[in-house]
């Protein structure tokens, strides 16, 4: 027992909390069958676990639990002003999974949720019914999670692709840092679905994007996706202002251009780090010694937190990725 | 510090012996014991005693929410496959009075079994409890403890004494079951407390930096609010690996003539950190 030393946290999804009304859903059964040794705990409502008081996000990240639930409302919501709609008028988001497998230090999810546990809403068919009512629409399906990283667990990307194939007026963006393109290898690329890779310079990815694939792997996956005929967007978002950021993003641009031709891409989206002030306050509380937040001095409550030289940063990085 | 709350003396005895705890004589209203880095309260059966004991032990220990840990350890009736002698960590705790259900954090791996516990106000038999375990303290303990500590630092550990036949448990049997379980439980609590220790905050100011900061505050006649802002900036500078000690020392060298000059120099100093 004495050798149960520091670091003896339970493994990923050691416990799975299942809403009673979700327990009979085929998706829940399918997911549970993948974790035969996990403890299954029946709950009334996902918020009983996800919104408990006294949770510690940082500790929970060391041993995240899975919560299987049924979403009963808010299947889709309007895209945030802080996100790029890429000129689409009906820009909405869907959140079939809340929280992420990766632990990125700058991620707004750390400020948005009080729990690091992962909620999977098993009833994706109800989301599809709601989306049908608002078509045509541009739907970001992977903002509050990395859906592709969960593909082996939940299979939602495949279901979204099948939905889009049946409904050409639905255009989806699947944003990812994921390296698991193989999980949708058998899916046919379709014109109204795009994969969007979020890239960061390797020193940033290795230091601040815990658990996420390396830059090299992401670029390799992007290459594979392009070769397979997928529409691909590159997202350099958020750009982080750290010591030597200009050199780091310069190097990133070079590596991207070596891996893919920028003309092959649907576009490159660039955005500097920004956050809702309430979320930012919580994020700073979780990581008081964060190097990322140390470059932001002062912000007003109720206003978005941004770098004072945001425009200059975005302009600089955008120019690095300009097509000659 | 590890805090333990048990209902009965016989449940507490092995922990008192192991840690060579001594009775805290200044607390007459409650049996409180202290030894090494552990403290224990014997609260008696039922909801009121356990809530009072949690409050009392927390205030007496001057609980630190970043380092301390509390556990309710005691006997409980258990449904098969749980058998007498099994140690079970409660992963779900229901309160029969309020109808509320609580979900403890299951962060640390353990060698025990797990079960869902229901807490009642009196001893119960088989048909009444719909969950794996039944006791008279767990839920009330958890609710009370959560006023003081985060969920990750509250544990409810039960030693199965019977299959919902409380009258079948003799003092001798109870003492023996607890004695057999105590060492494993306590070792695990120690390991859990260590695992849950927070990481060092790298941005914290060291002694030299604190001294330089104090000198600047005196030199520039800074108010409490101004000092707080400067201290926050220094911490951020540490996170950015900026060597700001020479800047502070330089500023501390010449004392400002008055508050007005101090304020002007302070604003310039702030700019050097923000750049």
- Domain check: are B179 and B240 in the same one? no
Q: A82: pLDDT confidence band, cut at 50, 70 and 90?
A: low
- Domain check: are B57 and B155 in the same one? yes
Interface residue A10 vs chain B (CB under 8 A): yes
DSSP B191: H
- Domain check: are B151 and B105 in the same one? yes
pLDDT the model gives residue A6: 46
Q: Is the pLDDT of residue A79 over 90?
A: no
- Domain check: are B24 and B52 in the same one? yes
Q: Is the pLDDT of residue B12 over 50?
A: yes
The answer to whether A123 and A159 are in contact (CB under 8 A) is no
Interface residue B131 vs chain A (CB under 8 A): no
- Domain check: are B189 and B214 in the same one? no
Rounded CA separation B155/B177 (Å): 19
Q: Say which range, A116-125, B2-11, B117-126, has the weakest mean pLDDT.
A: B117-126
Helix B245-253 and helix B259-274, axial crossing angle in degrees, nearest 10 = 160
pLDDT the model gives residue B124: 84
pLDDT the model gives residue B28: 78
- Domain check: are B106 and B131 in the same one? yes
Helix or strand run (H / E) with residue A91 = strand A91-94
Rounded CA separation A61/B204 (Å): 23
Q: Which of residues B170, B197, B224 is at a domain's end?
A: B197
- Domain check: are B115 and B136 in the same one? yes
| Secondary structure (DSSP) of B56-107 | HHHHHHT--TTT-EEEEEEEEEE-TTS-TT-EEEEEEEEETTT--EE-----
Averaged pLDDT, A240-249? 94
Contacts with A42 (C-beta within 8 Å, 6 or more apart), sequence order: A17, A18, A19, A20, A23
Contacts with B63 (C-beta within 8 Å, 6 or more apart), sequence order: B1, B3, B70, B148, B149
- Domain check: are B107 and B227 in the same one? no
- Domain check: are B19 and B54 in the same one? yes
The answer to whether A80 and A108 are in contact (CB under 8 A) is no
3-state helix, strand, coil in chain B (%, to 5): 45, 20, 35
Radius of gyration of chain B (CA): 26
Rounded CA separation B5/B19 (Å): 15
How much of chain A exceeds pLDDT 90, in percent? 78
> For chain A, how far is it from start to end, CA to CA, in angstroms?
63
Helix or strand run (H / E) with residue A298 = none
Rounded CA separation A164/A94 (Å): 14
* Residues from chain B contacting residue A53 (CB–CB below 8 Å): 146, 151
- Domain check: are B185 and B206 in the same one? no
pLDDT the model gives residue B62: 92
From residue B146, alpha-carbon distances to A84, A114, B33, B65 in Å are: 42, 16, 22, 10
ipTM for the complex?
0.86
Domain of residue B214, residue span = 201-274
Helix or strand run (H / E) with residue A318 = helix A310-320
Interface residue A295 vs chain B (CB under 8 A): yes
Residue window 25-84, chain B: list those with CB within 8 Å of chain A. Answer: none
Both structure tokens of B97 = 């009075």
CATH classification at residue B33: 3.40.50.1580
pLDDT digits (tens, 9 = 90+) for B28-84: 788 999 998 999 999 999 999 999 999 999 999 999 999 999 999 999 999 999 999
pLDDT digits (tens, 9 = 90+) for B256-267: 888 899 999 999
pLDDT the model gives residue A3: 46
Q: Is the pLDDT of residue A283 over 70?
A: yes
Is B114–A39 a contact, with Cβ atoms under 8 angstroms apart?
yes
Contacts with B62 (C-beta within 8 Å, 6 or more apart), sequence order: none
Q: What's the number of domains chain B is made of? A: 2
pLDDT the model gives residue B26: 81
Q: Which of residues B147, B177, B197 is at a domain's end?
A: B197
Q: Say which range, A169-183, B3-17, B61-75, has the weakest mean pLDDT.
A: A169-183
Interface residue A63 vs chain B (CB under 8 A): yes
Q: Which of residues B178, B197, B216 is at a domain's end?
A: B197
Q: A204: pLDDT confidence band, cut at 50, 70 and 90?
A: very high
pLDDT the model gives residue B129: 81
- Domain check: are B37 and B138 in the same one? yes
Q: A245: pLDDT confidence band, cut at 50, 70 and 90?
A: very high
CB contacts < 8 A (A, B): 111
Q: Is the pLDDT of residue B232 over 90?
A: no
Is B109–A8 a contact, with Cβ atoms under 8 angstroms apart?
yes
Q: B198: pLDDT confidence band, cut at 50, 70 and 90?
A: confident
Helix or strand run (H / E) with residue B185 = helix B171-195
Mean pLDDT rounded to a whole number for chain A? 91
Q: Across the interface, which of B203, B233, B273 has its CB nearest the CB of A289?
A: B203
Is B191–A4 a contact, with Cβ atoms under 8 angstroms apart?
yes
Residue window 71-110, chain A: list those with CB within 8 Å of chain B. Answer: none
* Residues from chain B contacting residue A6 (CB–CB below 8 Å): 194-195, 197
Q: Is the pLDDT of residue A10 over 90?
A: yes
* Residues from chain B contacting residue A50 (CB–CB below 8 Å): none
Radius of gyration of chain A (CA): 20
- Domain check: are B116 and B217 in the same one? no
């Amino acid at each position: 027992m004495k050798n149960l030393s520091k670091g003896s946290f339970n493994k990923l999804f050691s416990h799975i909390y299942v809403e009673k009304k979700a327990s009979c859903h085929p998706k829940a059964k399918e997911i549970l069958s993948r974790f035969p040794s996990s403890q299954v705990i029946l709950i009334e409502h996902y918020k009983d676990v996800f919104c408990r008081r006294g949770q510690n996000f940082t500790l929970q990240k060391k041993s995240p639990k899975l919560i299987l639930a049924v979403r009963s409302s808010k299947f889709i919501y309007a895209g945030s002003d802080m996100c790029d709609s890429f000129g689409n008028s009906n820009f909405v988001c869907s959140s079939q999974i809340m929280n992420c497998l990766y632990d990125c230090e700058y991620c707004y999810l750390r400020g948005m949720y009080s729990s690091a546990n992962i909620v999977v809403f098993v009833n994706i068919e109800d989301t599809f019914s709601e989306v049908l009512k608002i078509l045509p629409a541009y739907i970001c399906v992977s903002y509050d999670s990395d859906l592709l990283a969960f593909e082996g667990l939940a299979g939602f990307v495949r279901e979204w692709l099948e939905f889009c194939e049946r409904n050409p007026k639905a255009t989806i963006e699947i944003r990812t840092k994921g390296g698991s393109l193989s999980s949708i290898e058998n899916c046919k690329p379709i014109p109204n679905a795009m994969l969007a890779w979020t890239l960061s310079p390797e020193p940033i990815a290795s230091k601040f994007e815990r658990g996420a694939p390396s830059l090299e792997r992401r670029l390799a996956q992007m290459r594979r996706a392009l070769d397979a005929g997928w529409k691909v967007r590159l997202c350099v978002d958020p750009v982080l202002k750290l010591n030597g950021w200009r050199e780091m993003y310069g190097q990133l641009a070079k590596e991207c251009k070596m891996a893919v031709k920028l003309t092959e891409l649907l576009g490159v989206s660039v955005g500097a780090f920004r956050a809702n002030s309430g979320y930012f306050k919580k994020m700073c509380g979780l990581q008081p010694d964060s190097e990322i937040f140390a470059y932001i001095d002062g912000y007003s409550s109720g206003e978005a937190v941004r770098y004072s030289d945001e425009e200059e940063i975005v302009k600089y990085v955008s120019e690095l990725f300009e097509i000659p | 510090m590890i805090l333990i709350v048990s209902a009965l003396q016989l449940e507490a005895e092995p922990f008192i012996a192991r840690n060579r705890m001594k009775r805290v004589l200044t607390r007459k209203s409650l049996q409180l014991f202290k030894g090494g880095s552990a403290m224990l309260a014997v609260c008696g059966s039922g909801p009121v005693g356990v809530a009072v004991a949690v409050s009392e032990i927390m205030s007496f220990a001057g609980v630190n929410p970043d380092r301390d840990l509390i556990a309710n350890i005691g006997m409980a009736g258990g449904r098969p496959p749980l058998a007498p002698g099994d140690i079970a960590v409660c992963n779900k705790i229901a309160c029969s009075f309020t109808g509320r259900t609580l979900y403890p954090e299951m962060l640390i791996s353990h060698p025990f079994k797990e079960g869902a516990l229901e807490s009642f106000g009196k001893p119960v038999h088989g048909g009444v409890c719909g969950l794996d375990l039944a006791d008279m303290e767990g839920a009330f303990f958890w609710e009370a403890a959560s006023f003081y500590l985060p969920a990750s630092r509250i544990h409810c550990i039960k030693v199965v004494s019977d299959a919902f036949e409380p009258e079948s448990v003799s003092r001798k049997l109870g003492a023996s079951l607890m004695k057999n379980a105590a060492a494993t439980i306590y070792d695990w609590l120690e390991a859990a407390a260590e695992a849950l220790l927070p990481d060092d905050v790298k941005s914290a100011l060291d002694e030299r930096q604190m001294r330089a900061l104090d000198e600047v505050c005196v030199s520039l006649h800074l108010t409490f609010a101004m000092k707080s802002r400067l201290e926050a900036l220094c911490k951020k500078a540490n996170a950015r690996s900026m060597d700001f000690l020479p800047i502070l020392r330089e500023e501390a060298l010449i004392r400002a003539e008055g508050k007005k000059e101090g304020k002007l120099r302070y604003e310039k100093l702030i700019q050097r950190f923000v750049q």
